[in-house]
Amino acid sequence: MENAYYNGLMGAVGYRKKDIAKPVIGVVNSWNDVNPGHRPFRELAQYVKDGVWAAGGAPAEFTVPAPCDGMAQLRGMQYILPQRDLIAASVEAMARAHAFDGLVLLCSCDKIVPAMLMAAAAVNVPALILTAGAMLPYDSGHGVKVTPDLKEAIGARNAGKIDEAEFLDDQENICFSCGTCSMYGTANTMGVFAEVVGLCPIGSTTMLSASGAKLRQARDVGERIVALVREGIRARSFLTRRSIENGIRHASATGGSSNFVMHVMAIARTAGVPLCLREFDAIQESVPVIAKFKPSSPYNLSDWHRAGGVAATLRAIRPQLHEDVPMAFDGTLRALLDGFPRNVDAQVIRSAETAYLPDGCFTVLYGNLAPLGAVVKKSGVDPKMFRHRGPAVVFDSEEDLMERFLSGRVEPGCVLVIRYEGPKGGPGMREMSIPAAMLMGMGLHTSVAMITDGRFSGASRGPCVGHIAPEAWDGGPIAAVRDGDIICIDLVKKTLEVELSDGELAARLRAVRRPEKPVSGVLRAYRGGVQGAETGALWLMGGDAP
């Protein structure tokens, strides 16, 4: 009697009574027509569903948003980070309302992969992740282009280093096909993290989206999720402290995105795994950096795949990993690594003895400008800028900074300070990715540093310190900085300081008045509820879900 409504309504959409007696698998599709990383899912979802049917389950597809960070640049970037929690909450709400037995989560891009991982942790039913795979890299006939990220080309064009014809060629061809951008930004860092923790098949992220292997993999995922349901293996079996530590070490060893720091903090909290920034830093610095990918090296995602892929980079740091953690497709990490048969291209994937850096790709900084921490991707910084001291040039928004860039008035040696761009101040913690890339394109990355309570693109490189906490909107010390104040950044000592006495800093903070930044709708709700970047910028998610 209690199932009468359910049976009747499922019958209305075509399910037979014997179908809904099987494990019902929610296929969470983030397909849309306006995001190249997600457009392939229209087809891939059907292959997943075929796999579910073949294994004796019943697939039930539903959709969620999937914004493209690149398209949102200087348009709607404030709405990007909030969607991470909106997507995660949408999946949780739908999955709980319909009581699916398991989930397959189709996701590729910067906020959508962490959102799906958060949702899997929150719902805690059997779950698997499938990413769309990488774009085809563009070959102009003179070698593969540097990166699918156009922002550095904007800086180079603005500085007169490339002509209009070359810039237009980049613009038209640099994103050469659908799939995730063929560089190691946030999207691919998070996809690879999902592989390492065991919720996503190894190779899902680095293989070409256009490959037949991706179609076969989608069917495998559909079959495997039914087995996980029958075995009663839930998502949190993979999202443990030890598996998350493996994911952190691997992201650090391969030069992952600075945004990974914030997302992994959010995923851990949603999974009920205690993790603070200091612990994160200690975990990530325990591994050498054994690989770098575009834009920090000539190698793209396909090069990584051909060189041995994620299994090869895991094997390179094997002594630092917990090998007894479960993997949805391979038994345990130990079994995966023991069974890895391929030769490894040592030019792409180095050994510990020939590593780029001995102590991880990130650095978490503290000091009187960042009492709760700040994040920099050290592996993307020229060693000349590991220590930098210079006068502050202060901006209260990204737009003010862009105006300065486009006028060409940036003095070597300075520190660009961009504030009121944090989770609340933005609101939405926009990426300062175009300014950061323009800094590179203009050749200022060895003389000018940039610090912000906002964030940077996962593909950003150069002396760019983000995630400063507390943010200016919450009265963080960055709000008190004035033009000409001397800022000291030290990646070796892990410090971020302004040369002011405690008394002067406190007096200035008492006099600070926030700029007028009125918002409405979802941004108003976000500003009212979002937490600090140092704990993952959680809004709708987090806590101790069962």
- The Cβ of residue 210 has, within 10 Å, a number of other Cβ atoms equal to 17
CA 198-323-235 angle, 5° bins: 25
DSSP structural state of residue 514: P
Q: In whole angstroms, what is the distance from residue 291 CA to residue 276 CA?
A: 26
Contact 83, 113 (CB under 8 A): no
**Length reported for the chain:** 546
Burial class (CB in 10 A: 0-12, 13-18, 19+), 530: buried
Burial degree of 473 (CB within 10 A; 0-12, 13-18, 19+): buried
Task: For residue 8, give Cα distances in angstroms to 11, 17, 40, 369.
Answer: 5, 9, 33, 60
Q: What is the dihedral of CA 251, 256, 259, 264, to 10 degrees?
A: -10
Per the CB < 8 A criterion, the answer to whether 464 and 450 are in contact is yes
Residue of 209, 302, 457, 460 with catalytic role: 457
Q: How many CB atoms lie within 10 A of CB 462?
A: 23
Residue 257 is among the residues annotated as catalytic for this protein? no
Q: How far apart are CA 468 and CA 365, in angstroms?
A: 9
Token pair of 104, please? 């397959």
Give Cα separations from 215 to 44, 71, 231, 279, 470 (angstroms). 6, 27, 25, 39, 45
Whether the Cβ atoms of residue 358 and residue 288 lie closer than 8 Å to each other: yes
* Backbone torsion region of residue 397, taken as left when φ is above 0, otherwise alpha when ψ lies between -120 and 50, otherwise beta: beta
Catalytic residues: 457
